Amino acid sequence: MGTKATRILLMEDNPGDARLIREMLVKAEGYDFDITWVTRLSQGLESLSRGDADVVLLDLGLPDSRGLDTFVQAYAHSPSMPFVILTGLADETIALTAVGLGAQDYLVKGDMADGTLLIKSVRYAMERKRVEEALNAERQKLKESQENLRWLASKLITAQEQERQRISRELHDELGQNLCLLKFRVKEIQKELGEGNPALGENCQEVLAQLDQVVESVRRLSYDLSPPELKAVGLSGALQALFRDFRRHNHQDVQILRLDDLDTFLSREDQINIFRIFQESLTNISKHAQATRITVEIKREGNRASLMIADNGKGFSTEQNYTDAERHGIGLASMDERVRMLGGSLTVESKKNKGTKITFEIPLRNA
In a domain, 142, yes or no: no
In a domain, 102, yes or no: yes
For the chain, the domain total comes to 2
Q: What is the pLDDT of residue 3?
A: 65
Domain boundary among 85, 114, 143: 114
Full residue range of the structural domain in which residue 94 is found: 6-114
In a domain, 263, yes or no: yes
In a domain, 196, yes or no: no
Q: What is the pLDDT of residue 65?
A: 93
CATH code, domain with 260:
3.30.565.10
Strand 293-301, strand 6-11: pairing:
unpaired
Domain boundary among 48, 83, 114: 114
User: 238-248: string of b/e by CB count within 10 Å (b at 16+)?
Assistant: bbbbbbebbee
Q: What is the pLDDT of residue 116?
A: 84
Residues 110 and 239 in one domain: no
Distance CA 83, CA 129 (A): 9
In a domain, 360, yes or no: yes
Distance CA 216, CA 84 (A): 75
Contact 43, 26 (CB under 8 A): no
CATH code, domain with 75:
3.40.50.2300
Exposure of 191 in the CB half-sphere (CA atoms within 13 A): 6
Contact 243, 298 (CB under 8 A): no
Averaged pLDDT in 10-residue chunks for the chain of 367 residues: 79 93 87 92 95 92 92 94 84 85 88 81 87 87 80 78 77 79 85 78 85 82 75 89 90 92 91 92 90 94 95 80 47 87 92 92 84
Q: What is the pLDDT of residue 328?
A: 47
Residues 6+ away with beta carbon under 8 Å from 111: 117
pTM: 0.56
Distances from the Cα of 148 to the Cαs of 137, 309, 322, 345, in angstroms? 16, 30, 20, 18
Domain boundary among 114, 142, 168: 114
In a domain, 197, yes or no: no
In a domain, 91, yes or no: yes
In a domain, 95, yes or no: yes
Contact 253, 296 (CB under 8 A): no
